[in-house]
Chains A and B, each alone.
Chain A
Amino acid sequence: MPWPKACATSWWLAEETTVSEDRSGTANGQEGPRVPPVLPPPLSTGLSALPVSGRLHQLTLLIATVRAIKGLALPAIVVFLSGGGRIFGMLILMVLAVALLVAVVRYFTFSYRIEGGDLITRQGLLSRKERHIPLVRVQDLRFEAGPVHRLLGVVDVHVETAGAVGIEAELSVLARKVAEDLRQAVFARTGRSSEAKADLRQDGDLLGSLRLRDLVVEGLTSNRAASILVLVGAGMGLIDNVVPRPVQQEWFERVGRGATIWFSEANPARWQEIGFAVLAVLLLSIVFSVGGSILLFHGFTLLRRGEDLYRSYGLLTRRASSLPRRRLQVVQITEPWLRRLFGLAAVRADTAARKSGGEEEKRGGRDVLLPLVRRKELANLIPVFLPDAGPEPERWERVARCAIRRATLKGMIVCLFLVLALLLGPLREAVWPGGLHAFWPLALVPVLYWINRRNYAHLGYADGGTAFRTRRGWLSRATHIVPVRNLQVVVLRQTPFDRRHGVWTLKLDTAGQAFTGGGPMLRNVPDAEAHRLAGALADRAARTQYRV
């Protein structure tokens, strides 16, 4: 049978070198890229007249077999090793046969076509199932190709729509060329105006790409163990600089004595072993997170043509998705403290599709729009993602000052519980026979107060007319941007404690909320301001149209 040749020009399978080595244009974040990256082929505007229809690729059977064998490999090995006998072996073969049968039925009965603005899939042997997906509701069209797929030149196509939980339609597998045609057909017909069509013919803008070095940084800075190491190192350095040596010696001895009492049978040799083991685990976890980051995001590119954003990434399993930017509901910029040191951030975004896989999605890298980006470049990028976002605000409004006191009070209660646990818990005899030492958690309260003050200084919101922003966090920061046209409901809540302080919690509800944790939430907004703000936002939202 005629297998399709691997399509070397397919945009999302392009090798990394062609795309990302030249970043001279984007390096300073001011001008656009000079060298056009590998692009998805421009959508031909006359395409809408052509009928698009087809069936699955013949290799569906092979791919399904490979998948079934992969899934059954582990149980088969277990059965083989445990000498599990013939019955289990037969069972595994039967499962394999059933999986193959399902694949055969799917291959012979599955068909799709685009007709009258709908993507229609048909499937089923006994009970025919026909599904009509209006093209205007397609949120995200994703291609996924594992190593086997890539070898054979085929892809899995996932269609995601608003409101559906998870994948609305799965076309597994199609030839690359066919999938590309389908993508063109879907996005050529999502009802664009004529100027948008003209826009489609020009080349896209490269919004972001990651080189190997970026991936290493991504892996390092997303790793908690790495953060701990950096923190410990910095702390040691600080102590070394500030505290005189003799005092340090005394500290170490004291800690050593305390620890000796704690682990009564401890000896120095074992301590070293434990230390090395901990260090090894830390280093291993760093290696894993860097390796995982390279596997997942190798050759990452994000580019835009007209109204659509295209993402492609992956070393072994290559993933690509295209989504219209107006489908972005909320954009979240996260800056963990380690990344902030380097001036880096990650950008997440929600589409109107509901959460599906959770962890699975994260492993697929779908939760991040841009895994790593320089903070400076965001000023130019955010208006591309959200044309309504407006400029970054110069002034952030603050919530009521009681936020500091209330947060500290919460921390104090936790500290008090800690004291109680130390006084009454099983450790009271073993650790601190004196009893007074159990009160050390209270020493944290001033620190908590100070941290809460810093947090309060960096907590703020800005109502920019067409978009609403919040930011929070002193060391690690998170910024939410939600266009007013995406607001669904504005909610004010007040607990009895809030009432005593005369404040409300403002929450903006939006569609989707799979990856960013939803729209912004602001605690401790003063009474009058909360009602004014909520009323203004709802009123403005009512005058705009929500389009998915």
Chain B
Amino acid sequence: MNQEDAIRDDQPGQEERPYSPLDERVIPYWRLSGAVGWIIPMLLLFGLAIGVGGAVFGHLRLSLFLWAAWGVGVIFWTWWYPPRAYAAWGYRRDGKVLELRSGVWFRVVRLLPLSRLQHVDLQRGPLERWFGLASLVLYTAGTQEAAIGIPGLPDAVAQSLRDELVACGGDDGV
């Protein structure tokens, strides 16, 4: 992909490991969890738009329009955004440093020296389990970046990555 090339080109001359992508199933997972999270409030708001906006204040058309505009935004976030977020996500381990990148518009690259790893959580919510996914949360002693998440990893990959990271970071004799 274009972005990936751009980031690789930043450090010419060096032999770069490619970024590992997340599992592709994370796209439907994000879409589904987004839909579950948004559709109920959408329906509630529809009732509110007709009931309060229309009946009480007499601005039925305006409130329906606002509701629809908001609905377009929700569809945008639940349908259009996840594939882009998936494409932007990547991680790679380079020696003792784990590098994570994410963000479609606001890009973030986090470099985590593995000797700073305090502990690792492996999380599997009900929806994630259904898709066979798991996410890792990496904890450091830092402040703003004390907990760093990697979502949407295949179950087995998440477990082996966790073991790999802990084994790599664990030789720090604190």
Chain A contacts to B: CB under 8 angstroms: 162-163, 352, 354, 487-496, 499, 504, 507, 509-513, 518, 527-528, 531-532, 534-535, 537-539, 541-548
Contact = CB atoms under 8 A, between A and B. Distances in A.
B62 to A, nearest CB: 26
A542 B143 contact: no
A544 B115 contact: yes
A541 B109 contact: no
A509 B143 contact: yes
A488 B111 contact: no
A506 to B, nearest CB: 10
Contacts of A538: 97, 99, 111-113
Nearest to B111: A538
A327 to B, nearest CB: 12
Contacts of A543: 96, 115
Given A494-B106, A496-B106, A542-B95, A489 B172 contact: no
Contacts of B145: 488-489, 491, 509
A496 B143 CA distance: 25
Contacts of A494: 103, 106-108
Interface residues of B, number: 32
6 contacts: A489-B116, A491-B111, A528-B10, A531-B109, A539-B113, A542-B113
A539 B107 CA distance: 21
Q: Which 7 A-B pairs have the closest CB atoms?
A: A488-B142, A542-B113, A542-B96, A538-B111, A509-B142, A489-B145, A541-B113
A489 B142 contact: yes
Contacts of A487: 113, 116
A492 B11 CA distance: 15
B126 interface: no
Given A493-B109, A531-B109, 17 more contacts: A488-B113, A488-B143, A489-B112, A491-B111, A492-B109, A493-B108, A494-B103, A495-B106, A509-B143, A509-B144, A510-B143, A531-B11, A539-B95, A542-B97, A542-B113, A544-B115, A546-B116
Contact of B111 (A162, A496, A535): A535
B115 A534 contact: no
B174 A535 contact: no
Given A509-B143, A518-B143, A542-B95, A527 B115 contact: no
A511 B141 contact: yes
B144 to A, nearest CB: 6
Nearest to A512: B143
A510 B10 contact: no
A310 to B, nearest CB: 25
A158 B7 CA distance: 49
Interface of B: 7, 10-11, 94-97, 99, 103, 105-116, 140-146, 148, 172-174
Contacts of B107: 492-494, 499
B106 A490 contact: no
B13 to A, nearest CB: 11
A534 B148 contact: no
A535 B97 contact: yes
Contacts of A531: 7, 10-11, 109
A544 to B, nearest CB: 7
A492 B108 contact: yes
Contacts of A354: 143
B96 A496 contact: no
B102 to A, nearest CB: 11
B143 A513 contact: yes
B93 to A, nearest CB: 11
A239 B94 CA distance: 61
Among A352, A491, A492, A543, which residue has the most Cβ atoms of chain B within 10 A? Answer: A491
A511 B141 CA distance: 5
Given A491-B109, A538-B111, A532 B173 contact: no
A65 B95 CA distance: 60
B1 to A, nearest CB: 16
Contacts of A534: 109, 111
A280 B108 CA distance: 51
Contacts of A547: 174
A163 B116 contact: no
Nearest to A136: B174
Nearest to A513: B143
Contacts of B94: 535, 539
B136 to A, nearest CB: 15
Q: Which of B105, B111, B115, B148 has its CB near the most chain A CB atoms (within 10 A)?
A: B111
A489 B106 contact: no
Nearest to B106: A495
Contacts of A490: 110-113
A525 to B, nearest CB: 12
Interface centre among B99, B110, B146, B173 (most CB of A within 10 A): B110
B52 to A, nearest CB: 33
A539 B140 contact: no
